[in-house]
Structure 1
Amino acid sequence: MANLTTIILTKNEEMNIKNCIQSVQNVSKRIIVIDSFSSDLTVEIAKSLGAEVYQNEFVNYGNQFQYALDNTNIKTQWVFRFDADERLTKESSSEIEKLCFENRDTDINGIIFKLEVNFLGRKLKHGGTYPFKKLCIFKTGHAFMETRSMDEQIVLLNGKAIEMKSISEHKDYRDLTYWISKHNWYATRAAKDYLDFENEKIDYNNLDFSAKIRRFLKYKLYYKMPQGTRSLIYFIYRYIIKLGFLDGKEGYYYAFFQAYWYRVLVDAKIFEAKKNNTKIDEAGSLN
């Protein structure tokens, strides 16, 4: 078992939380759930599996995660940000334990986590989604999470990050209706994030390489293109250039919804806010 605390943020995750917690039990000394006052059985299930549950009103992911760091007395060497719809495999669990042990006394202060995206029941291998990489594991006191409305990243204060070899699973058991609702919520947050930083210098310092590339492409390329054409270019990039069509119908729907629904919705919300000279407030929790 690694000297590791796993933090999971939840709101009505009764369909996901059991498998999520069970997948990290063998590698985590502590499992902490920060719940946004779920109305389903999320809290009861988490407690029954030995997780420590705290409840806090949701503002955004950055604030919620920082609440966990500030209020749960974490004393393990490592911290792991883990989502309720993610699952460790036997291979990724073993690798996390190995990397945490091997880097107890090195300047490696972060570990980049790899995921496969599951959409409509299919594991997507193309379209620029495989594998999805994010810095999720870090030494306590050596990193913080940005307080942005969307696309918040864990940022190392010092040291270096290494990348895992094994790939974990992303698997939400809820349906397309929920996915659409969630991405409407994401779109509000993404529009607010864009407007908050539209006239600010984008800070890339200390971001891991994958996060740095994603942020650069979003603000220096994507948002510089005309609203009427960038969703088309985005679809062509995902579905054709990055071979999303090889993932069958699921790959088509994923690329279509990402480009022609989600990204267009973000643009529409930005347009609405500017046209009406209104401010987009924090979206709060999803449900």
Structure 2
Amino acid sequence: MKSPITVIILTFNEENNIVDCLESVKDFAAQIFIVDSGSTDQTPEILTRYPVQVFHHPFENYSQQRNWSLKNLPIKTEWVLNLDADQRLTDEFKAEVHHHLSNGKLENINGFLASRKTMFMGKWIKYGGHYPTYHAMTFRLGKGQCEQKLYDQHYLVEGNTIKLKGDVIDLITESLSTFTLRHDKWSTLESIQQFDSANSSTETIIGKLKGDAMQRRRYFKNLYERLPLFVRPVLYFLVRYFFRLGFLDGKRGLIFHFLQCFWFRFLIDAKIYELRRTNKQIIQ
């Protein structure tokens, strides 16, 4: 029996991911919407095999695409679930959400927090503080939106939320080449976000040490951003890999934690340093 929920999936050249994603939701959601931003691979053809409604919208950034989808799609259900093509719903997640939506006791609840279960090179990255990491992917229509950030966006939910036990599987990369290419692009967005105060917005999660799981993560991220450039990625890697036991993830964990916790963060700092030098030269 399908749940009274709408799933929204963003796509752009996702022929390697979209099948498994749709297989995980096709028997779960009452509605499935695909918002495609100009795929040129086999994604459009694959979508014809599934009970989905496809909409096309030019991609500006992740936040704009998500919020456009929430405002413009003909959603008929009260609840929505936002997915990426490289994510899959677990049976536990689906059963838990279906139970909550069917029991009629959610008057004061507007969202669900679920943890991502990151898979890297075929291995679950369990340590290094990477699990559990909760996200508000599911909420009542009109009670949630994607925060206005260039990178590392999360969903803002108005009102109370429930923390779920079921996870969402997140395939972090198809290959190391894809991983480094994507993170190079994301490092540019994050460096601009941190450098340019014009990109700041009040429509973001407020960091709170005693808040919910997402607010606590944002609190510590804000502290990280106050640390000196080039020092903070070293400290971050040491904390994640040694103090948060990332080394227990083995060889693939070493690759992941080094690239994600040190190389990626160091690249962000290098690009911020470059932006500062360029800006200083322009002023002079």
Question: Structure 1 pair 186/104, CA: closer, same or farther in 2 (3 Å)?
Answer: farther
1:205 positional shift: 4.6
Q: Paired residue for 1:281?
A: none
Alpha-carbon displacement from aligned partner over 1:13-62 (angstroms, at most 9, x marks no partner): 10000110110112201111111101111122123212111111111111
Question: Structure 1 pair 112/197, CA: closer, same or farther in 2 (3 Å)?
Answer: farther
Q: Paired residue for 2:11?
A: 10
Q: Is the 8 A contact 1:23 1:88 kept in 2?
A: yes
Q: Paired residue for 1:35?
A: 36
Q: Paired residue for 2:160?
A: 160
1:180 positional shift: 0.7
Q: Counterparts of 1:206 and 1:141 in 2: how far apart (Å)?
A: 23
Alpha-carbon displacement from aligned partner over 1:153-209 (angstroms, at most 9, x marks no partner): 21123x200011122312256111001111111111111221244896976459972
Identity %: 34
Q: Counterparts of 2:232 and 2:154 in 1: how far apart (Å)?
A: 24
Higher relative contact order (CA closer than 8 Å, sequence separation 6+): 1
Q: Paired residue for 2:175?
A: 175
Q: Paired residue for 2:90?
A: 89
1:149 positional shift: 0.4
**Residue type at the aligned position of 2:191:** A
Q: Paired residue for 1:215?
A: 218
**Residue type at the aligned position of 1:162:** I
> SS in structure 1 opposite 2:74?
coil
> SS in structure 1 opposite 2:220?
helix
**Residue type at the aligned position of 1:144:** Q
Q: Paired residue for 1:136?
A: 137
Q: Paired residue for 2:279?
A: 277
Q: Is the 8 A contact 2:149 2:199 kept in 1?
A: no
TM-score calculated relative to the size of structure 1: 0.90
Aligned to 2:261, which of 259, 262, 265? 259
Q: Is the 8 A contact 2:92 2:166 kept in 1?
A: yes
**Residue type at the aligned position of 1:209:** D
Q: Is the 8 A contact 1:47 1:53 kept in 2?
A: no
**Residue type at the aligned position of 2:255:** Y
Q: Does 1:190 align with 2:194?
A: no
Structure 1: stretches of 5+ with no match in the other structure = 279-287
* Pairing 1:62-81 to 2, within 5 Å after superposition: 62-81=63-82
Question: Structure 1 pair 248/270, CA: closer, same or farther in 2 (3 Å)?
Answer: same
Alpha-carbon displacement from aligned partner over 1:108-154 (angstroms, at most 9, x marks no partner): 10001122111111111111111221000000111121121012221
> SS in structure 2 opposite 1:29?
strand
Q: Paired residue for 1:236?
A: 238
> SS in structure 2 opposite 1:228?
coil
Aligned Cα RMSD in Å? 2.1
TM-score calculated relative to the size of structure 2: 0.91
* 72-81 or 92-101, larger mean C-alpha shift: 92-101
Q: Counterparts of 1:212 and 1:161 in 2: how far apart (Å)?
A: 13
Structure 2: stretches of 5+ with no match in the other structure = none
* 164-173 or 122-131, larger mean C-alpha shift: 164-173
**Residue type at the aligned position of 2:79:** W
**Residue type at the aligned position of 2:23:** Q
> SS in structure 2 opposite 1:256?
helix
